[in-house]
Amino acid sequence: MDAQLVALFRKFQDNHCDAAEAQQVLQYIESGHHLDEWEAAIAQHASLLMDSPEVANRTPEQATALYQRIMAATAAQTHTKPTTQTLRPSIKQRLLYRKYSYLILPILLAAIATAIYFNRSNLPVQDVAPGYNQATLTLADGTKIALDSAQSGIVVNDQDIKYSNGNPVQNVILSGERGKEQGGAEGSLPTSLTLTTPKGGQYQIILSDGTKVWLNAASTLKYPSRFSGDSREVYLEGEAYFEVNNNPSIGAMQDNRKSYLVNRKSNAPFIVKSRNQQTTVLGTEFNINSYEPSVKTTLVTGAVQVSSDGRGRNDGFVLKPGEQSILKADNFTKTKTDIQKSIAWKNNEFRFTGENLGGAMQQIARWYDLNVIFTDEALKQAPVSGIINRQENLSTILRIFEKAGLKFTITGKRLTIKKK
């Protein structure tokens, strides 16, 4: 994300741009690019709004009146259609506000509603750093290797596993005579491996067929050192984003890779088994969230077949991009979804659109390695909305929620939440 663009958009929202800057913003927005920076600027604007006594100190009746005035003003502006031939920059700014008010209003109104819902309180004294790259690799014999946190991920090769920078992971020999001498896999037979991230951790892996996997916090991926047979199968607990290679024979031609060790059938299905679900795909990008209590599969590109318990094609759905399947107990459903929300973690974001406080805190607890306790269970149902950078310290995250009247207490790894 471009911090300078975010600052420019904030300047524009505050009506402090000169003519050249206003024209630049207009071109950016009209092009449809840099929407992430635009949304970040809006989120900052909303945060400042919540600090304003004009919002935080309003009664529900006053908040309703404010909402009605905003909507009325927006409607009035939307129906005004002056020409743009001779407009001065200040008027262009107003037009842009009218055109993109639908992006701003939901966030501002959510901030108003949340500020009214709670009373104000204090920030925690103790701070917690965000999660980072950390994972454990478990070999077939049970040996556990703590992976380098300075690296973003690992790459599975024929004879060894390397970090993303090309350095080998120590004490891992997967195949060949040298492998047998040093306790590795026998000959060229595939061996079972497990990659695990703790709470507060994330890691990436490129499998032997070239498939890329991003593993979220508190997650486990079980996979073979190389794929064989007529399918490529892995097992997932937790959450991961998959970018499946639909032509494994290409991946087999990479450096330090023997093509005869990899299934050469480019149409070998890639199968992800998770809790009570099987996802089958040839080549695509998708996200699977199998944290309790449900399994959510979101398709980004391509097509996948999801089925419960792997019982077959008729016991599930074929997903199209932008669709999500949800398996909860015996209930299996399919719906349209917000892709960016589902994969926000991969982009180092929290996206709480349409979320409640309980769900938001579950995500925060996994990433900051915390146990969350609500003194009032009803607080879990409070609606929240917003976009937050996952690389912020916990104090920055809680400060946003604190402005809505919540009080936080941190004791070790326990985060207690209550109303003041």
Q: For residue range 50-82, what is the model confidence (pLDDT) as tens digits?
A: 455 545 555 555 554 544 454 444 444 434 433
- Band (371; pLDDT cuts 50, 70, 90): very high
**Residue where a domain stops, chosen among 93, 117, 141:** 117
Determine which of 159-163, 193-197, 246-250, 270-274 has the lowest per-residue pLDDT on average: 246-250
Q: Is residue 78 part of a domain?
A: yes
Residue with tokens 């609500």: 374
Q: Is residue 201 part of a domain?
A: no
pLDDT given at position 190: 76
- Number of domains forming the structure of the chain: 2
Mean pLDDT of the chain: 76
| pTM above threshold 0.85 | no
pLDDT at 113 over 60: no
Residue 296's contacts (CB-CB under 8 Å, 6 or more residues apart) are 287, 288, 289, 290, 324, 325, 326, 327, 342
Q: Report how far residue 129's alpha carbon sits from residue 34's, in angstroms, rounded to the nearest whole number.
A: 28
Q: Is residue 25 part of a domain?
A: yes
- Band (211; pLDDT cuts 50, 70, 90): very high
pLDDT given at position 18: 73
**Residue where a domain stops, chosen among 75, 97, 117:** 117
Residue predicted with more confidence, 67 or 208:
208
**Residue where a domain stops, chosen among 102, 117, 132:** 117
pLDDT at 219 over 80: yes
| 392 C-beta neighbours (distance < 10 Å), count | 16
- Residue 168 C-beta-side C-alpha neighbours within 13 Å: 10
Q: Is residue 66 part of a domain?
A: yes
pLDDT at 349 over 80: yes
Q: Which residues pair with 280 in a beta bridge?
A: 271, 305
pLDDT at 350 over 70: yes
**What's the CATH code of the domain at 368?**
3.55.50.30
Q: Is residue 276 part of a domain?
A: no
Tokens for 225, please give them.
């050192």
Q: Is residue 295 part of a domain?
A: no
Q: Is residue 328 part of a domain?
A: no
Domain extent at residue 386:
348-419
In sequence order, what DSSP letters do the residues of 153-210 get, joined into one string?
EEEE-SS-EEETTSPBPTT---SSHHHHHTT--STT---EEEEEE-TTEEEEEE-TTS
